Amino acid sequence: MAREVGTTAREIRELPKAHLHLHFTGSMRPATLLELADRHGVHLPEALTSGEPPKLRATDERGWFRFQRLYDIARSCLRTPEDIQRLVREAAEEDAADGSGWLEIQVDPTSYAPRLGGLIPTLEIILDAVRTASRDTGVGMAVIVAANRMKHPLDARTLARLAVRYADQGVIGFGLSNDERRGLARDFDRAFAIARDGGLLAAPHGGELAGPSSVRDCLDDLHAQRVGHGVRAAEDPYLLRRLADSGVTCEVCPASNVALGVYDKPEDVPLRTLWDAGVPMALGADDPLLFGARLAAQYEIARDSHGFSDLELAELARQSVRASRAPQEVRDRMLADIAAWAAP
């Protein structure tokens, strides 16, 4: 695209990106939450109706519990296949507006299953919604099925088998979410083995609420190919080198880290530390419903708080594309478009 040299910085929304860390309910538009709550008679706490992101601090258990409780209430507003279709369509529309050409949305179908007829119908409804939204918006989309580490490892194995069954129908990865301080990653090693053997990408959360050891556990016990967050690896130079050498991408979500109190300010998120160490990153929004910032805003933080130049932002976008499971033709097209965005 044409741009006059020496004028303003390039438009971040026009930089093609892959979005690899976005949770299902957490992607919801605040206005949609209000409408669905009204329709289904769900009473929302003020923290979800004020129009401002709630004040959260998840570095203690009470704060994390509060975050989860708000999330559960929001999730309880998704009750029908139409609700699911709307959520996915709007997530794709928001991503398209932020320059995303590829979106991997993360979901634990368990929590929606009781109202949608069980695990299998739920995943089929989600995959159908993803295909429709992708076709209508032009954003390529895929699903990461994520287990909940607060639940029994056998539940995770069930989900891994389910995910593998739909590997050729839009499921590309297997994740593990919720409080890293609870339980051990290795309790879920069998579930991840099932997922990897079935050709799925292993992308558990680690290194957000817990320190570098949680990232190491993801690598050693779950053979993670990507790590959700992973920012706390910045506290361990050897771990940074290991991530860089093995090309494991960290799905870094700066606004989420600040909203949950992992870091006090955007400047404190160790983007530069990971960058300088050569650790590949894919910036993501995590839960924009609760944190108030979508995809482009994460790149704005890299620019405004960490001084990333346009060429560095373009490289960040390339890293997100390379770490994605987008088909080769989509990757090629996005990399060419990134080069055009960065061209003088």
What is d(CA 59, CA 208) in angstroms, rounded to the nearest whole number?
Answer: 9
Closest distance of CB 106 from Zn ion, Å: 7
The contact set with Zn ion (CB under 5 A) reads 286
Q: Please, which residue, 146 or 317, has the CB nearer to Zn ion? A: 146
**145: β partners:** 107, 174
Q: Give the contacts of 51 (CB within 8 A, at least 6 positions apart).
A: 30
Q: Please, which residue, 286 or 300, has the CB nearer to Zn ion? A: 286
Q: Are 27 and 94 in contact (CB under 8 A)?
A: yes
Q: Please, which residue, 95 or 286, has the CB nearer to Zn ion? A: 286
Sign of the CA dihedral with 253 first, then 43, 120, and 184 last: positive
Closest distance of CB 289 from Zn ion, Å: 12
Give the DSSP H/E element, type plus range, for residue 88: helix 81-97
Which pair of structure tokens corresponds to residue 267? 């400047």
Closest distance of CB 23 from Zn ion, Å: 6
CB neighbour class for 63 (10 Å; exposed up to 12, middle 13-18, buried from 19): middle
Q: Please, which residue, 216 or 229, has the CB nearer to Zn ion? A: 229
What is d(CA 164, CA 158) in angstroms, rounded to the nearest whole number?
Answer: 10
What is d(CA 135, CA 126) in angstroms, rounded to the nearest whole number?
Answer: 14
Question: Coil, helix or strand for 182?
Answer: coil
Residue whose tokens read 């004020």: 50
Closest distance of CB 312 from Zn ion, Å: 24
Closest distance of CB 256 from Zn ion, Å: 7
Q: Indicate the Cα dihedral angle 255, 257, 258, 261, nearest 10°.
A: 160
What is d(CA 100, CA 330) in angstroms, rounded to the nearest whole number?
Answer: 12
Residues 91, 64, 234, CA angle at the centre, nearest 5°? 80
Residue closest to Zn ion, measured at CB? 286
Q: Please, which residue, 94 or 286, has the CB nearer to Zn ion? A: 286
Closest distance of CB 58 from Zn ion, Å: 11
Q: Are 334 and 138 in contact (CB under 8 A)?
A: no
Q: Please, which residue, 280 or 284, has the CB nearer to Zn ion? A: 284
Closest distance of CB 22 from Zn ion, Å: 8
The dihedrals phi and psi of 104, each to the nearest 5 degrees, come to: -105, 110
Sign of the CA dihedral with 185 first, then 200, 226, and 90 last: negative
Q: Please, which residue, 81 or 230, has the CB nearer to Zn ion? A: 230
Catalytically active residues are 208
